[in-house]
Amino acid sequence: MRIAFACLDADTLGGIQQITHTLAQGLAERGHEVDVIGLYAADKPFRYVERPLYRRHVINRAPLGAERRRVADRRLRRALPDAGYLVMTSPSVVARMAELGRGLRRIGQYHGSFEHARGSWHLASIRRNYGALDQAVFLSEEDAWRFSEQALLPNAWALPNPLTMWPEETSTLETPRVLGVGRLEGVKRFDRLISAFAMASEPPWELHLIGDGPEAGWLRAHAEREGVADRVRFRGRVPVSQMTAEYRQAALLGLTSDHEGLGLVLLEAAAHGVPSVAFDVSGGVRSAGPVLVPPGDVAAFADRLRLLMREHEERRRLGAAARERAADFRLERILDRWEELFAHIER
């Protein structure tokens, strides 16, 4: 079948983009004809798939003014298949493309949590635009239920993000290293992770932050203020192909975001047998099975880190349980669920 995924920007370093390219390649490997459409070009393109089996389209080099909207619409229509499915990956894309996709089976994804949507403009947009689609897809059963109840959606469906890897070898959990993975920007609140690490740890433990972003300089200064600048390593971008080695050298992962739909890093760490500590911010985070602490409670986060730093056997127990749970998110299983969704829509 023909399937088109549409993103505001398909090639920036980010979770939505990584999931989109992973699904596109997986479905293409199963024989489907797949397109990935970016409405705008990325400032710093990131390559997720070395040899894509799907077609890629960039509609505009930059956001357009209203006067050129019709030109962009013509380009979009040429990029869309004549029949099949249009998967729109965010509320902004649904608002922009839903009418252009008439004639296709239209699916609207939401990669955030209900908690985040309720605190932003997203909930009103989802309530206004998603109910008319063939399916509205959310990251956990809990989120799908809450959107169906609170946004009055008759078409809510739960379909989690897939793992992009499944390693045969896992971490020994012996290297005294905590990982933080993601873009260094406000919503990820790596300042909280640095503070919790400072409260919980002593040498030789280190915190490795993988990713880049606008807050890198401020976070370096924050590590200095917390007295751990010599033990916080800012690693910058790491290619996807090298992330397995990073997880295998970790003993713990910390996720201190203000909000997360379903943090892919939680699943990747779990697949490598690495336990995580995370703020309890969504049904998707809960479904990944980390050690949970109340949102924003840095002292509680530090307490859990401290315990797990001291107890190697507890890390092993939690890591093994996390890997067992993560098996449900393996790519092949999630691709099966996407094909089940397509079959459900056809019925």
Check which CATH number belongs to the domain holding 246 and give it. Answer: 3.40.50.2000
Instruction: Enter the pTM of the model.
Output: 0.88
Does residue 167 lie within any of the structural domains? no
Residues of the chain with pLDDT under 50: none
Minimal CA–CA distance to 56: which of 43, 64, 45?
45
The reported pLDDT for the residue numbered 64 is 56
Question: What Rg do the C-alpha atoms of the chain give, in angstroms?
Answer: 20
- Helices marked H in the chain — which ranges? 15-29, 69-79, 91-97, 114-118, 122-129, 141-150, 190-200, 216-225, 243-248, 264-271, 283-288, 298-310, 312-326, 331-346
Q: The domain containing residue 110 runs over which residues?
A: 2-162+331-346
Q: How would you classify the pairing of strands 276-279 and 291-293? A: parallel
Are residues 33 and 110 both part of a single domain?
yes
CA 297 and chain centroid, separation: 23
Q: For the chain, what is the mean pLDDT? A: 94
Are residues 122 and 181 both part of a single domain?
no
pLDDT tens digit string along 122-163? 999 999 999 999 999 999 999 999 999 999 999 999 999 999
Are residues 152 and 244 both part of a single domain?
no
Are residues 156 and 47 both part of a single domain?
yes
The residue type at 148: S
Are residues 115 and 42 both part of a single domain?
yes
Number of domains into which the chain is organized? 2
pLDDT tens digit string along 23-55? 999 999 999 999 999 999 988 888 899 899 999
The reported pLDDT for the residue numbered 68 is 74
Are residues 44 and 140 both part of a single domain?
yes
Are residues 11 and 153 both part of a single domain?
yes
Are residues 93 and 205 both part of a single domain?
no
The reported pLDDT for the residue numbered 63 is 61
The reported pLDDT for the residue numbered 153 is 95
Axis-axis angle for helices 15-29, 264-271 (nearest 10): 60
Are residues 192 and 119 both part of a single domain?
no
Does residue 172 lie within any of the structural domains? no
Minimal CA–CA distance to 343: which of 135, 204, 98, 91?
135
Are residues 191 and 305 both part of a single domain?
yes
Does residue 39 lie within any of the structural domains? yes
Are residues 115 and 200 both part of a single domain?
no
Are residues 97 and 182 both part of a single domain?
no
Does residue 244 lie within any of the structural domains? yes
For the record, the structure tokens of 331 come out as 């790519």
Does residue 48 lie within any of the structural domains? yes
